[in-house]
Amino acid sequence: MSHDAHDIAENIAHIHAEIRAAAEAGGRSATDVTLVAVSKTHEASRIQQAIDAGHRVFGENRVQEAEGKWPSLKEGAPDATLHLIGPLQGNKVKPALALFDVIETVDRPKLARRLASMMDETGHRPDMFIQVNTGEEPQKAGILPADLDGFVVECQDSLALPIVGLMCIPPVDEEPSLHFALLREMAHRNGLTGLSMGMSADFAVAVRFGATHVRVGTAIFGARAPINITQD
Ligand SMILES: *Cc1c(COP(=O)(O)O)cnc(C)c1O
């Protein structure tokens, strides 16, 4: 695959068309679905090509990497918004609050409490998603489904976190639609409207199951160097 600006713009246009078709098939509007372009591991010059193509919503999975690339990219595109989609360590909460517009990976009580206290200190209030480990995989981040409802109450009522929805990463070897349906049901019963689910291989399925945010990297920017997507 060649890596010129034309490809990135074209890839984004293709994905928007697929999102539109999937949304309409489900009786929804494509404007209800946000395409988060996952730019982790890609150089600023490639991300700039997506910005030049008019794209504005991006996802990164590591705070430190994003701190290196994004301040200057945002100078040229102040309306760009950045989602944190990778695990957040307690010692990175302060820089994460300063840099990210949305944090999709609130996944444990200790982190929720730290976010609440640092939000008070810094005044930054990014929207937040709770990450759910729908596959109950031991190595994967996310609150377990059985603990979710209590965690939502703690985040919203005790800590006043701006929780807007749920996020999941289904197990690689399982049918993703089961996980998408589960996440949708869990969001619904907790009165949450945001659903961040679906990646390059399955974003159209996710949209059919109600995704409001799809996180697409490879299908936009091409293959990444092979690293573990959950590391920080
Ligand atoms: C890397 C990553 C993605 C994008 O994956 P692709 O298969 O490249 O589209 C989506 N979500 C999370 C949490 C990721 O870490």
pLDDT for res 3: 53
- What tokens does 153 get? 């109450």
| Bridging pattern class, strands 57-60 and 81-84 | parallel
Q: Tell which atom from ligand 1 comes closest to the C-alpha of 61.
A: 15
Distance 44 CA to ligand 1 centre (A): 18
165 within 8 A of 193, measured Cβ to Cβ: yes
pLDDT for res 1: 44
Q: What's the CA gap between 175 and 171, in Å, rounded?
A: 8
List the CATH number of the domain containing 24.
3.20.20.10
Continuous segment of H or E residues that includes residue 197: none
Among protein residues, the one with the nearest Cα to ligand 1's atom 13 is 85
Reported as a pLDDT band with limits 50, 70 and 90, residue 4 is low
Q: What's the CA gap between 24 and 171, in Å, rounded?
A: 27
Instruction: Name the residue among 67, 169, 90, 83 with its Cα closest to residue 126.
Output: 83
Question: How do residues 115-145 score in pLDDT, each as one tens digit?
Answer: 999 999 999 999 999 999 999 999 999 999 9
Question: How do residues 44-53 score in pLDDT, each as one tens digit?
Answer: 999 999 999 9
Q: What is the mean pLDDT of residues 58-62?
A: 98
Q: Tell which atom from ligand 1 comes closest to the C-alpha of 85.
A: 13
The alpha carbon of 33 is separated from its chain's Cα centroid by a whole number of angstroms, namely 12
Q: Is the shortest distance between the CB of 37 and ligand 1 below 6 Å?
A: no
Reported as a pLDDT band with limits 50, 70 and 90, residue 60 is very high
- Print burial letters for 15-37: b (CB count within 10 Å at least 16), e (below 16): beebbbebbeeeebebeebbbbb
Among protein residues, the one with the nearest Cα to ligand 1's atom 12 is 85
Instruction: Name the residue among 51, 73, 62 with its Cα closest to residue 95.
Output: 62
Q: Tell which atom from ligand 1 comes closest to the C-alpha of 36.
A: 10
217 within 8 A of 224, measured Cβ to Cβ: yes
pLDDT for res 2: 47
pTM for this model (two decimals): 0.95
Q: Range of 36's domain?
A: 5-231
203 within 8 A of 221, measured Cβ to Cβ: no
pLDDT for res 215: 98
Instruction: Name the residue among 71, 103, 64, 55 with its Cα closest to residue 219.
Output: 55
| pLDDT at residue 226 greater than cutoff 90 | no
Q: Which residues pair with 127 in a beta bridge?
A: 102
Question: How do residues 166-204 score in pLDDT, each as one tens digit?
Answer: 999 999 999 999 999 999 999 999 999 999 999 999 999
| Bridging pattern class, strands 194-196 and 57-60 | unpaired
35 within 8 A of 12, measured Cβ to Cβ: yes
Reported as a pLDDT band with limits 50, 70 and 90, residue 225 is confident
Reported as a pLDDT band with limits 50, 70 and 90, residue 5 is low
Going by the DSSP 8-state scheme, the letter that residue 105 receives in this structure is: E
Split into its structural domains, the chain has a count of 1
Among protein residues, the one with the nearest Cα to ligand 1's atom 15 is 229
Q: Is the shortest distance between the CB of 199 and ligand 1 below 6 Å?
A: yes
